A and B are shown apart, each in its own frame.
Chain A
Amino acid sequence: MSAKAKLATVWLDGCSGCHMSLLDIDERILAVAEQADLVYSPLVDLKVFPEMVDVTLVEGAVSNEEDYAKIKKVRARTKILVALGDCAVTTNVPGMRNPFKVEDILNRAYLENAATNQHIPVAVIPPLRQTSLPVHQVVDVDVFVPGCPPSADTIFYVLTELLAGRTPDLLGKTRFGI
């Protein structure tokens, strides 16, 4: 009997909606748990991304320096990397700031529109990169699952196919937007 597969999920620049959709697979999560251990996730209290992960679902675009460092490490430690949802696949809403300069965005958010305590944070929160990028423009991606968010059925299908060693065929199952 082979060991269970190692499954991870990471949350970059996204709204967590894809993780909500993952949880919407409801009791089918028990079927996933029979085949895989969730070794790292915003839903798991573990701080370091482990080595030798079989499948990682990535939600969100690569927008700041922390996202960038994290996705590089995740890629190096993952066999099958899945770009989950439109932010990971297309940059979606996080990319809507790309036509503007980072400086202008920070001024807008922290100075012009701030009623009190007007200052641009420089410590603790990671600096924004010049442009928000889809995951595949930073590291190689093995499976793309568009959708905002992809439905629970689509996510469950992708997980069961990948855990069974097959490549999911997403034709007719999801699309940009949804």
Chain B
Amino acid sequence: MNQPTQARIFTLKIDGVDVAAREHETILELAQENNIFIPTLCHLEGLTEFGGCRLCVVEVQGSNRLFPACMTTVTEGMEVTTDSERLRVYRYMILGMLFSERNHVCSVCVSNGHCDLQFLAAKLGMTRVEMPYLHPSMVVDASHQHFIMDHNRCILCQRCVRVCGEIEGAFTKGVMGRGASSRIIHDLNGAWGDSKTCTSCGKCVNVCPTGALAEKGKSAGEMVKRRDWLPYLRSMQED
């Protein structure tokens, strides 16, 4: 029996504006419905929320801690602040750590001009990185016939890992190591080109927010990602 369930409606405030939300909705979904901008990086419509980048942290009245908007569901009477001096400090710090932890050289990157990290830094008015650049020695895996994985530009958002498992069902990509030494790997840390599970579908390349995953043969600024297919594939799975 398919009876329509009655969704409960909550009323709450985002940045002082009264809004109505459906039960189980996240703060991020509600903000986007109401055209309120919350910065995100690991979030991508069509993938399971991960809550890894912490850029979407917001303040909720009555609590001192910050809440990731992508993982926090609305409650009745909630009062959310999406932009404040405190949040700006944390977001700058997060972006600074992402930029300084690997070798992001925007000017010569395949994704220059089409990069979510570069776009966010500009959108938030970031003009410098305060912490020292680590300039780690990073490898580039060019073993795949069509694609390239440049660890210099990876921010470990795990969009590629999620799309590979959740949408393609291949589970080729994973994460090895902890903290700053974490790496995206293929199968049991073999060369990508040797992977028996990779279907070469290219979904990981297209969801990657930076130039870490790109098609071979692209020069600086030439790698444009397409993601319009993702919500459709997700909705087909749900149907």
Given contacts A177-B106, A177-B109, A144 and B135 within 8 Å (CB-CB): no
B121-141 to A contact mask, C-beta < 8 Å, 1/0: 110010111001101111000
Across the interface, A146 reaches (CB within 8 A) one of B109, B112, B115, B127, namely B127
Within 8 A of A (CB), among B114-168: 115, 118-119, 121-122, 125, 127-129, 132-133, 135-138
Query: Is B135 touching A131 in the complex (CB atoms < 8 A)?
Result: yes
Query: Contact between A145 and B113 (Cβ–Cβ < 8 Å)?
Result: no
Complex CA gap A177/B106 in Å reads: 4
Stretch of A26-34, A87-95, A118-126 on the interface side: A87-95
**Given A134-B128, A134-B133, A177-B113, A96 and B107 touching (CB < 8 A)?**
no
Bound Cα distance A63, B105 (Å): 16
Q: A92-B105, A93-B107, A144-B127 are in contact. Are A176 and B121 (CB under 8 A)?
A: yes
Minimum CB distance partner of A89 in chain B = B128
Is A165 positioned at the interface, with any CB of B under 8 Å from its CB? no
Give chain B residues whose Cβ lies under 8 Å from the Cβ of A93: 105, 107-108
CB contacts (< 8 Å) of B108 on chain A: these are: 93
Task: Tell me if A99 and B106 are in contact (CB < 8 A).
Answer: no
Contacts of A148 in B (CB 8 A): 106-107
Task: Decide: A178 near B137, CB < 8 A? Known: A83-B128, A136-B128.
Answer: no
* Contact in complex: A177, B133 (CB < 8 Å): no
B103 at the interface (CB under 8 A from A): yes
Q: Which residues of A contact B (CB under 8 A)?
A: 83, 86, 89-93, 95-96, 98-100, 131, 134, 136-137, 141, 144-146, 148, 170-172, 174-178
Q: Which positions in B face A, CB cutoff 8 Å? A: 99, 103-109, 112-113, 115, 118-119, 121-122, 125, 127-129, 132-133, 135-138
Given A98-B133, A134-B129, A176-B99, 7 extra CB contacts under 8 A: A91-B133, A99-B103, A141-B128, A144-B128, A146-B128, A177-B106, A177-B113
